[in-house]
Structure 1
Amino acid sequence: MKIKIINPNTTLEMTESISAAGRSVARQGTEIVAVSPSFGPASIESYYDEFLCAPGVIEEVRLGDREGYDAYIVACYGDPGLHAAREVTLRPVIGIAEASLYTASILAARFSIVTVIPRIKTMLEEMVENYGFGRKVVNVRTTPLYVLDVEKDPEGALETLREEARRAVAEDDAEAILLGCAGFAEFADELEGELGIPVLDGVVCAVKLAEAVVELSKTTSKSKTYRFPERKTFAGAFARFGAETAHAEAAE
């Protein structure tokens, strides 16, 4: 089994840490390959960043189909480009936020997300509602951390997360903590040991879900919503996406 983890930002140091998290839980025989698109933002911390990283995610999925991957993971906690990526492949595509939310709902009745800078709060609240977890996510807690701060000062980032996670337990009555950034993966086990409740990293959750779906021999439904995009012309810098649409339609 081959799983391609797509870090939608272009910071390769972060991609390497995401890869390590995925490999740490993959079963024997599962090959994990983590990549970043060749174009896009260095980090994703706004609607603007999410919008501009999506074409890179789509391109990596299409490349992956040619390379024989069995599943894809979008490794950014906003799950940018997730639904569009599902339209261009038969293979399962899993977002790390979606994976952590479904996993947490099995383990706890109520949980909080601890994430990066305050402007992310509304974005994640909207995502939680769209996924149908509004009643279970009791709070989206932000921190002063930017996405790339973890690479610059991991000890400082861990201490910031520790303080906010403790507040979530004390003030939100959270029964589990979801780490709202792919770069936080390395901290999950230590925080769980300290807090005594499940602390979930979305990358790890997504790898295990991807393995399960592939082993069930299930593919993305093409009956309606996630059908391959209709054939049409794209102009300018997006011209190649139109050509790829025609290719996918023919494959269907």
Structure 2
Amino acid sequence: MRILLINPNTSRAMTAKIADAARGVAGPDVVVDAVCPAVGASAIESHVDEVAAAAAVVELVAADRDGASPADAYVIACFGDPGLDAARELVDAPVVGIAEAAMHLAAVSGRHFGVVTTLSRTLGRAHDLVARYGMERACVSLAATGIPVLDLEETGSLAVETIASHSADAAAGGADVIVLGCAGMADLCAELTARVGVPVVDGVAAAVGMASGMVRMGLGTSKRDEYALPARGAAAPTLPPQAANLEVFA
């Protein structure tokens, strides 16, 4: 089984870190290839960044689909789940966003969960996704740490302390489970679980587990209506070509 893990920002360091986290939970028969765009948003911290990220996701999924060995599933490794619906239009295979996967697994792990994310300006998008995924009753808190995304490329002690403090506050406020609201926090899951005392869900691991499970079950993306192939075909969007300059973090 092959999963294509897409980091929609251009950070090579973060892509490598996310890839390590994904491979740590993948089964022995699962190959995780991690990619990021050569050009685009260096960090996804605004609505403008999200537009660029969504376009990159669509292009990378289309390029992989049209390659020699298309992936069996795709994971979008950004907590805003950019380009998720568009990517699902392009392929029959499962396409899983990390916010979607993390919230669903958190709702199984406990009755209530809290989200701990990066900048406060991203909270609006997080609220939107909570509503989209039907998690209004399960999600009891959304907290911003004030940590920029690229500061998580190499997670220092100050960042860990800040995230742990907000996670502990969420647990004290009634969250049975903590959801990490950025793919760049993927390597902190085990440490935070031990420190906070409640389950901590990393969306990258959750999405890889969900995607691989769907492949084993023979579940793909329905093509009945909304996610049917776009009427004008499934060509990649008209954007500066990135696939030729793409590095796979194998």
Give TM-score scaled by structure 1 length.
0.90
Give the CA RMSD over aligned residues: 1.7
Q: Is the 8 A contact 2:59 2:237 kept in 1?
A: no
SS state of the match for residue 119, structure 1?
helix
Structure-1 residue corresponding to 2:246: none
| Number of positions where the alignment pairs a residue of Structure 1 with one of Structure 2 | 237
Following TM superposition, the consecutive aligned residue runs of length 4 or more in structure 1 with deviations greater than 4 angstroms are none
CA distance in 2, matches of 1:124, 1:7: 18
Structure-1 residue corresponding to 2:158: 156
Give TM-score scaled by structure 2 length.
0.91
Structure-2 residue corresponding to 1:218: 219
Structure-1 residue corresponding to 2:13: 13
Instruction: Establish whether residue 178 from structure 1 lines up as the match of residue 195 from structure 2.
Output: no
CA distance in 2, matches of 1:151, 1:40: 17
Structure-2 residue corresponding to 1:131: 133
CA distance 1:31–1:153, shift in 2 (3 Å) = closer
CA distance in 2, matches of 1:152, 1:71: 28
Q: Is the 8 A contact 2:58 2:237 kept in 1?
A: no
SS state of the match for residue 3, structure 1?
strand
Percent identity of equivalent pairs: 40
SS state of the match for residue 57, structure 1?
helix
CA distance in 2, matches of 1:204, 1:43: 20
The answer to which structure, 1 or 2, has the higher relative contact order (CA under 8 A, 6+ apart) is 2
CA distance in 1, matches of 2:238, 2:7: 24
CA distance in 2, matches of 1:23, 1:153: 19
CA distance in 1, matches of 2:237, 2:180: 34
Amino acid in structure 2 at the alignment position of 1:213: M
Unmatched runs of 5 consecutive residues or more in structure 1: 242-252
Q: Is the 8 A contact 1:38 1:56 kept in 2?
A: no
- Compute the displacement of 1:38 (Å): 2.4
Q: Deviations over 1:113-145 (max 9, x none)?
A: 000011111110011101110111011100110
Unmatched runs of 5 consecutive residues or more in structure 2: 241-250
CA distance 1:34–1:238, shift in 2 (3 Å) = closer
SS state of the match for residue 153, structure 2?
helix
Q: Is the 8 A contact 2:3 2:74 kept in 1?
A: yes
